[in-house]
Amino acid sequence: IFFRRVCFIGKHATQQMVLKIMRLLKTSARGHSRRKSASDEPPEGAEPFCVARVQGAPHARICQIQVDSFMDGEALLGSLDGVFATQVGSTIGVPHTVRVIYDSKKTNPTDLSVQSGFKVVDVDGTRPFRLGPPDQQKYYLQQTPLVKWVTELPKGGKVGDSALFATRLNAYCNGYGSEGDIQRDCVYLSEEYCTFLLDVWKEKHREQ
């Protein structure tokens, strides 16, 4: 009798398990067949930030950092050692974001956060990212005569086909960096523009 009861219980449990699995499979199938909502799709501009474009940068990595202001946040982050390039935009739940491509041999998301005072919201650049409009990219650089050299603003901006140079010039135009940094980069500028850049930097630097 005991054996029969065990067999009955075992058979009943097996049937219940099969029915449960079948219900789960049906539910899963309905979930996969449903039409995707707008929230399922990555936002515009969420394509990967191509680190291969940074020549001679095999250790390039990406992170996303929440800032208080697009303009000042991008300029400050662009002045930090080890930063190759910046883009302003937004990510999920964070409307003011700067996407940073950096040299992992020189810095990391934690150091960037400590030095800037901003919060890292994505340590490896995998979260969807929506690029901001062109007039928000390299904002301070765009307010100077140097803007005539800026290209590819919809993608973050370049000067002389260099995102790094555009990033550094933008930082200088808001008073970040040092006079020594500017003198080093002035080898790529005419004497006239170098003098202009130094004057802009000194004025902005005093205001900080």
Q: What is the pLDDT of residue 207?
A: 84
pLDDT tens digits, one per residue of 150-206: 999 999 999 988 999 999 999 999 999 999 999 998 888 888 989 999 999 999 998
Report how far apart the first and last C-alpha atoms of the chain are (Å, whole number).
89
SS3 122: strand
Q: Taking the model in full, what pTM does it have?
A: 0.73
Q: What is the pLDDT of residue 119?
A: 97
Residue pair 140/150 in contact by the 8 Å Cβ criterion: no
Query: Residue 105 has which token pair?
Result: 């041999």
How far is residue 23 from each of residues 10, 11, 14, 32, 71, measured CA to CA in Å? Answer: 20, 19, 14, 14, 53
Q: What is the pLDDT of residue 40?
A: 33
What torsion do the CA atoms of 53, 54, 58, 61 make, to the nearest 10 degrees? -90
Q: What is the pLDDT of residue 2?
A: 36
Checking if the pLDDT of 50 tops 80, the result is: no
Q: What is the pLDDT of residue 15?
A: 54
Q: What is the pLDDT of residue 16?
A: 55
User: Residue 99 has what DSSP assignment?
Assistant: E
pLDDT tens digits, one per residue of 75-90: 999 999 999 999 999 9
Q: What is the pLDDT of residue 175?
A: 97
The mean predicted confidence, pLDDT, of the chain is 80
pLDDT tens digits, one per residue of 127-137: 999 999 999 99
Q: What is the pLDDT of residue 56?
A: 52
Predicted confidence band of residue 24 (pLDDT cuts 50, 70, 90): very low
The domain spans of the chain are 51-207
pLDDT tens digits, one per residue of 108-152: 999 999 999 999 999 999 999 999 999 999 999 999 999 999 999
Task: Work out the average pLDDT over 46-72.
Answer: 70
- The fourth-level CATH superfamily of domain 51-207 is Peptide methionine sulphoxide reductase MsrA (3.30.1060.10)
Predicted confidence band of residue 57 (pLDDT cuts 50, 70, 90): low
